[in-house]
Structure 1
């Protein structure tokens, strides 16, 4: 039975600032129509990311007061280390200040130029850190992941046959490790099954290739396994997680997601040589191995968050809250990626705005319109984030999926907030023909979506003024 209300009480509140449409128009122009460049105070409902935006619990806040800020050997590190080992079972635990730092120190230690790193689907910083090593980041998710209407229960699964073909083609020596991202963020927050992980692990053991998890949303993935995979309905999520991690050789994590903290990450590995190489590089760029770029108080909050995230009442409400938003949008006719994922609802921008071709950045245009009309900030996951063009003369390559992600921070918004989001998106959908495309005027060579700048086509500004509140059909 789903919990009919939030499984927590609110002790501290933060006021929401309401801005006018005219002010939002001005801010968009100043920001070059890039929502990353907006001041957060100008955003009413912020669904840009679920990374680092969670509300911490009273236990976590209490833990901050127990921070041991010793440079080496902080007691909070040992609590954190024990929590990670209990969860993952790997021998060595290395803290970092966030996930991309874990990616950096791992790939700096083991990825060489000319290698390739397969994944079910790389997210932005993972791909960039691999390519920064002059290696290739390969997406080998099952083909159904690219069909937004397909409702497979585990659309994040690795295509094991394609993975084997790649290993045979390039040779095992050119594959330093294989990653599985749980859940698959780039593909709509879709989970990966234990059966698929087991098949991948079995294949890689034949070739002597390590299997790693990008585990930033591991708890949500494990809850989906409990819900959807035969044989796991009565298995506690903690045991599912231990079974999952036991099939791999290590993991990296941005703990700003399922660690329920505002900053933090880690690497955990079994291989002593890898651990030594990672630690040596960590000292250069992050700090001493018992703090890894974090304060002792942050390590304590993280240790407690890794325990809290396994609470099944919390997870049940978390997944159902995301599902609630997705079902409201679908009921209002809005095209979304199905099935609804664990941490976000993904709007299918190509179907939402069929009059805009990908070179006009429909997902970015949709995200801009949603902010301008209603003060809601989402994020583009499409041609801005994953499209490529190395030179002005080269034809651009576009991704198969063109999405706007509405990522829901953990324990932050109530269902009333999400009902407002749904009403706004449905209202925008009913006036979608007024939304204009964008022209990119600046794009960095890597991770361009963070700093890109745009102009609206022909300097045209939509004349649609959002109503703000609409009664959805029952």
Structure 2
């Protein structure tokens, strides 16, 4: 079953609107410079269409808003926690739930619980906050994703897969006892939102368990991944997203999850696992870093909204529309000859900045330049996913030059309509026609951690 290329009407009605500010190009040039040409440092009120991220930028349903009124704000034992726990078990199937304020809180708990300094943590491509927590705990990230993931034009339907040979080679090289766990992201953000197949998840789990290694799912967009399995992998076309999701998790030992993506909420996350001892350790630490184990940094109302959003997102038609919006924008860009990562990702469209601006080398931050030019040109905010995001080698201090130097047009859930994506597409196409005029950037301020959030640049 193939994904449709036809536009899909929104499976909801709009009952409240938020006005946006209309600005001039001269104004945007001024504020972009003031923000150090970093789209993270722009004020949101100065943005016309905001595709910076799909994290926490979603529109909640009336069912979620109604649940907000049922917030039990008791310090201990909130009824909303138990509803969230039941929803997590129904959708994901893990035995233990530890709530956190967002996904990186869960990454911190898992990293501190499982990593001993000097151990290796293989994964199917790094993600910024995940790798940062692993390295802060003394771990060494090793990329074991399939080679196709680093090729923007390879159309393999499951470019997020773990390369089993790379994983096995690492085990032989360093010994299973020196591997803390393997992280499997579903979908793989920095590869362009690429999914992992069920067959690969199962094989990865079997190989890991053979050597006594835990599999930790980065389940932030697991429901999108489940939908891709439904439409791309033989034997799953008649299964529901919820059924597929639970089967995915059965091949793993635990998960970290940001509730700010698939669950349509603005805050929240969790760590989950099946191991009793691991759960005890994480509950002990969550009290130190987040809050009591029955709220973990969230208000009761936020736990209620997250649980309700979790149940909503397991509905097939919700995920079908989610993917259709990304497909619509991506196909408009493909038709105009814009170089984007293929296949089109679930949570956004990734522009190949090196092909878009071939005259700007990576050491001049190609994708960062493109993201800023798009904002100045049309008021569309996007984000760099390339050299700036990759950061530096923790041992040598040298900048990492990833093969994928992209600009991500992330799509918030239930926020924008087809007309907005028409505007975005035309803006990108206009910019491409005048690409020879673009200039690179130099970094003038670099923070110690996760530099892409706060770094500042100047035009060359």
Q: TM-score, normalised by structure 1?
A: 0.95
| Structure-to-structure mapping, 1:55-94, within 5 angstroms | 55-94=59-98
Q: Give the structure 1 partner of residue 229 of structure 2.
A: 225
**What is the alpha-carbon distance in structure 1 between the residues aligned to residue 180 and residue 278 of structure 2?**
11
Counterpart selection for 1:420 from 415, 420, 423: 423
Q: Tell me whether 1:408 sits opposite 2:411 in the alignment.
A: yes
In the TM superposition, what is the alpha-carbon distance from 1:154 to its structure 2 partner? 0.3
**What is the alpha-carbon distance in structure 2 between the residues aligned to residue 390 and residue 166 of structure 1?**
19
- Alpha carbons of structure 1 residues 431 and 3: separation in structure 2 relative to 1, 3 Å: closer
Q: Tell me whether 1:180 sits opposite 2:181 in the alignment.
A: no
CA distances 1:40-71 after superposition (whole Å, capped 9, x unpaired): 00000000000000100000000000000000
Q: Give the structure 2 partner of residue 359 of structure 1.
A: 363
Aligned residues: 456
In the TM superposition, what is the alpha-carbon distance from 1:95 to its structure 2 partner? 0.3
**What is the alpha-carbon distance in structure 1 between the residues aligned to residue 99 and residue 235 of structure 2?**
34
Counterpart selection for 1:446 from 446, 449, 452: 449
In the TM superposition, what is the alpha-carbon distance from 1:351 to its structure 2 partner? 0.2
In the TM superposition, what is the alpha-carbon distance from 1:25 to its structure 2 partner? 1.1
**What is the alpha-carbon distance in structure 2 between the residues aligned to residue 232 and residue 197 of structure 1?**
14
In the TM superposition, what is the alpha-carbon distance from 1:395 to its structure 2 partner? 4.9
Q: Give the structure 2 partner of residue 190 of structure 1.
A: 194
Q: Tell me whether 1:121 sits opposite 2:125 in the alignment.
A: yes
- Alpha carbons of structure 1 residues 281 and 339: separation in structure 2 relative to 1, 3 Å: same
Counterpart selection for 1:273 from 277, 290, 299: 277
In the TM superposition, what is the alpha-carbon distance from 1:279 to its structure 2 partner? 0.8
5+ residue gaps, structure 2: none
Q: Give the structure 2 partner of residue 434 of structure 1.
A: 437
In the TM superposition, what is the alpha-carbon distance from 1:455 to its structure 2 partner? 0.4
Does the CA contact (< 8 Å) of 2:390 and 2:401 recur in 1? yes
In the TM superposition, what is the alpha-carbon distance from 1:90 to its structure 2 partner? 1.4
Q: Tell me whether 1:398 sits opposite 2:401 in the alignment.
A: yes
Does the CA contact (< 8 Å) of 1:112 and 1:133 recur in 2? yes
| SS in structure 2 of the partner of residue 243 of structure 1 | helix
| Structure-to-structure mapping, 1:58-457, within 5 angstroms | 58-388=62-392, 395-457=398-460
**What is the alpha-carbon distance in structure 1 between the residues aligned to residue 93 and residue 416 of structure 2?**
33
**What is the alpha-carbon distance in structure 2 between the residues aligned to residue 357 and residue 311 of structure 1?**
44
Does the CA contact (< 8 Å) of 2:56 and 2:260 recur in 1? yes
Does the CA contact (< 8 Å) of 1:120 and 1:140 recur in 2? yes
5+ residue gaps, structure 1: 458-474
Counterpart selection for 1:14 from 8, 11, 18: 18
| SS in structure 1 of the partner of residue 190 of structure 2 | coil
CA distances 1:405-461 after superposition (whole Å, capped 9, x unpaired): 00000000001000100000000000001110000111123200001010000xxxx
| SS in structure 2 of the partner of residue 186 of structure 1 | helix
Does the CA contact (< 8 Å) of 1:97 and 1:265 recur in 2? yes
**What is the alpha-carbon distance in structure 2 between the residues aligned to residue 4 and residue 288 of structure 1?**
43
In the TM superposition, what is the alpha-carbon distance from 1:4 to its structure 2 partner? 3.3
- Alpha carbons of structure 1 residues 394 and 242: separation in structure 2 relative to 1, 3 Å: closer
Does the CA contact (< 8 Å) of 1:390 and 1:445 recur in 2? no
Q: Give the structure 2 partner of residue 463 of structure 1.
A: none
RMSD, aligned α-carbons: 1.3
**What is the alpha-carbon distance in structure 2 between the residues aligned to residue 387 and residue 348 of structure 1?**
19
CA distances 1:223-274 after superposition (whole Å, capped 9, x unpaired): 0000000111111111111111111111110010011100000011111111
Does the CA contact (< 8 Å) of 2:8 and 2:324 recur in 1? no
Does the CA contact (< 8 Å) of 1:371 and 1:377 recur in 2? yes
Q: Tell me whether 1:53 sits opposite 2:57 in the alignment.
A: yes
In the TM superposition, what is the alpha-carbon distance from 1:105 to its structure 2 partner? 1.2
**What is the alpha-carbon distance in structure 1 between the residues aligned to residue 359 and residue 393 of structure 2?**
23
Moved more, 211-220 or 394-403: 394-403
